[in-house]
Amino acid sequence: MSLSSGASKPLFAASNFSRAVTGFAASAEMRALNTALPIGFGGLVAALLAILFLEPNGWRVAPQPNFPLAAIAGAMLPAFGAMSCVTAIALAWQLALRRALPILPQVLASAIAFALALPAWKPGIAPLAYLRSVGASGLLLAILVGMLCALLVRAAVRFLPAGRYLGAPLALLPFVALHAAGIDLSAYVVAALAPLAHLGDTYLALLAIVFLETALWCIGIHGPALLAGVVTPVYLSLQALNTHAFVAHQPLPHIVVVSLFLFVFPGGAGATLPLAALLALSKVPRLRRIGRATLPFALINANEPLLFTLPIVANPFLALPFIGIPMLLASITYAVVAAGWVARAAFYVPSSIPAPISVYLATLDWRAPILLLANLLLATALWLPAVRAYERHEVGLS
């Protein structure tokens, strides 16, 4: 009997809740959004590089002389605006593919509706300045408009005789009417973000996200992928507000932003970088092979190969530390940042950038890598007894 066969037997009976969660994650809308968001991130990186190349000094905001990342600080918010535009197109395309809707009309309708929902472009406003105004709320607006357009087109296709041809123009009518009435949807999104940010930028919200991401993994559901469509737009918006405050030389308003999770999940969900390292040194051949093969991926926070190979799903030896360690790291990180001992994250940094480089780039604080190192040492100490117990189990099965 191998470990993988024994450990992969479900410890939790299927429930209506797990079926509902799995169904939500597998819905066409969530799959479309989870595909569109990485495309949007690509747009953010491309826009950031283009802005820095075209305007190397125009967006420089230097809190101190020769500040090396000042240009990036100024260019980040317009890049968020560009990301919103790319996401709007990508989401419309993905929704059309997954709902068998006419692709070109769906993409055009969503793009035009998104443009109508954006703040009015006043004469004399430079393109980068306009993208800057879009940056804080544009991502949520792109998602809301894309989903609503797809819903209206689907309804037209289903209930109207010529719905495949009339669906896109009909979906545009509400946005045209709101624009003609002078109603700025982007302003309403900004207003809606205020209480949402207050709810999301809390210690309890942080713990809830960390718990859900890890607990769902333990029952075979990709927690980060499931929550990305719901959580990422909110915390990216809060991240953009921090970037805006940094550029304006104001205190950063939010603690819980996307880049804060770099401290909580070193190696990916479950804080599995120490786990991969410990397995790479294991005396058990199978575990040692797994650790050495997956450690390079863990260094860039891609831990799916590790989680599926062990496996983590329904594994009694690893489930508790997989859930508990990130919650402890989240608590420590929140307390340290809230106390001002480490700066709040000003910038979005992709999780694929290895630690501790990523946390320094996100905060521009030399203390951030020290906090990350402390988190890694603590996580290693807590993972060690679980790995030893798992090794004894493996030897007993061989």
Residue-wise pLDDT tens digits, 113-143:
998 888 777 777 777 777 777 765 677 788 8
> Are 384 and 311 in a shared domain?
yes
Which one, of 348, 344, 355, lies nearest residue 272 by Cα? Answer: 355
Band (26; pLDDT cuts 50, 70, 90): low
Q: What's the confidence (pLDDT) of residue 3?
A: 35
Enter the tokens of residue 307. 């989680």
- Please tell me whether residue 56 adopts helix, strand or coil conformation: coil
- Please tell me whether residue 118 adopts helix, strand or coil conformation: coil
> Are 319 and 212 in a shared domain?
yes
Whose structure tokens read 């979005």? 348
Highest mean pLDDT among 88-97, 151-160, 389-398: 88-97
> Are 164 and 240 in a shared domain?
no
CA-to-CA dists, residue 266 to 20, 21, 254, 317, angstroms: 29, 26, 21, 20
Mean pLDDT, residues 255-277: 92
Which one, of 175, 156, 184, 36, lies nearest residue 113 by Cα? Answer: 175
Mean pLDDT, residues 333-346: 96
Q: What's the confidence (pLDDT) of residue 76?
A: 65
239-249 confidence digits (pLDDT tens): 888 888 888 88
Burial class (CB in 10 A: 0-12, 13-18, 19+), 386: buried
- Choose the final residue of a domain: 182, 212, 236: 182
Q: What's the confidence (pLDDT) of residue 68?
A: 44
In this structure, of 163-167, 289-293, 358-362, the range with the lowest mean pLDDT score is: 163-167
> Are 68 and 175 in a shared domain?
yes
What length is written for the chain?
398
> Are 398 and 276 in a shared domain?
yes
> Are 396 and 253 in a shared domain?
yes
CA-to-CA dists, residue 113 to 105, 109, 126, 149, 186, angstroms: 12, 6, 22, 8, 12
Instruction: Establish if 134 belongs to a structural domain.
Output: yes
Instruction: Establish if 97 belongs to a structural domain.
Output: yes
Mean pLDDT, residues 155-183: 82
> Are 373 and 254 in a shared domain?
yes
> Are 285 and 323 in a shared domain?
yes
340 pLDDT above the threshold of 90: yes
Q: What's the confidence (pLDDT) of residue 157?
A: 81
Instruction: Establish if 4 belongs to a structural domain.
Output: no
Select the more confidently predicted residue: 159 or 334. 334
Instruction: Establish if 15 belongs to a structural domain.
Output: no
Select the more confidently predicted residue: 48 or 197. 48
255 pLDDT above the threshold of 90: yes
Instruction: Establish if 48 belongs to a structural domain.
Output: yes
8 pLDDT above the threshold of 60: no
Band (14; pLDDT cuts 50, 70, 90): very low
Q: What's the confidence (pLDDT) of residue 182?
A: 80
Other beta carbons less than 10 A from residue 123's beta carbon = 4
Select the more confidently predicted residue: 254 or 313. 254
Which one, of 94, 88, 91, 92, lies nearest residue 114 by Cα? Answer: 88
Band (90; pLDDT cuts 50, 70, 90): very high
- Choose the final residue of a domain: 118, 153, 182: 182
Q: What's the confidence (pLDDT) of residue 311?
A: 75
Rounded-to-integer distance, Cα 218 and Cα 8, Å: 10
Highest mean pLDDT among 19-23, 168-172, 307-311: 168-172
> Are 327 and 211 in a shared domain?
yes
Q: What's the confidence (pLDDT) of residue 397?
A: 56
7 pLDDT above the threshold of 50: no
Rounded-to-integer distance, Cα 356 and Cα 257, Å: 17
Band (6; pLDDT cuts 50, 70, 90): very low
Q: What's the confidence (pLDDT) of residue 28?
A: 81
Mean pLDDT, residues 20-48: 75
Which one, of 145, 144, 344, lies nearest residue 238 by Cα? Answer: 344
User: Which residues, 6+ apart, have CB-to-CB distance to 58 below 8 Å?
Assistant: 74, 128
282-319 confidence digits (pLDDT tens): 998 989 998 999 899 888 888 878 887 777 766 778 88
Band (264; pLDDT cuts 50, 70, 90): very high
Which one, of 105, 88, 104, lies nearest residue 169 by Cα? Answer: 105
Rounded-to-integer distance, Cα 192 and Cα 171, Å: 23
- Asked if 393 contacts 284 with a C-beta cutoff of 8 angstroms, the reply is no
> Are 224 and 338 in a shared domain?
yes
Instruction: Establish if 11 belongs to a structural domain.
Output: no
Select the more confidently predicted residue: 265 or 81. 265
Whose structure tokens read 């949520």? 140
Stated as kind and residue range, the H or E segment containing 322 is: helix 319-338
Mean pLDDT, residues 82-109: 88
- Choose the final residue of a domain: 117, 150, 182: 182
Instruction: Establish if 187 belongs to a structural domain.
Output: no
- DSSP label of 12: S
Q: Which domain holds residue 211?
A: 201-398
> Are 249 and 126 in a shared domain?
no
59 pLDDT above the threshold of 50: no
> Are 217 and 178 in a shared domain?
no
Mean pLDDT of the chain: 79
**Counted domains in the chain:** 2
Q: What's the confidence (pLDDT) of residue 249?
A: 86
Q: Is the pTM higher than 0.75?
A: no
Q: What's the confidence (pLDDT) of residue 256?
A: 92
Instruction: Establish if 21 belongs to a structural domain.
Output: no
Highest mean pLDDT among 62-71, 182-191, 215-224, 289-298: 289-298
* Gyration radius (Cα) of the chain, Å: 23
13 pLDDT above the threshold of 60: no
Q: What's the confidence (pLDDT) of residue 288?
A: 92
Mean pLDDT, residues 84-88: 88
- Count of CA atoms in the C-beta half-sphere (13 A) of 292: 9
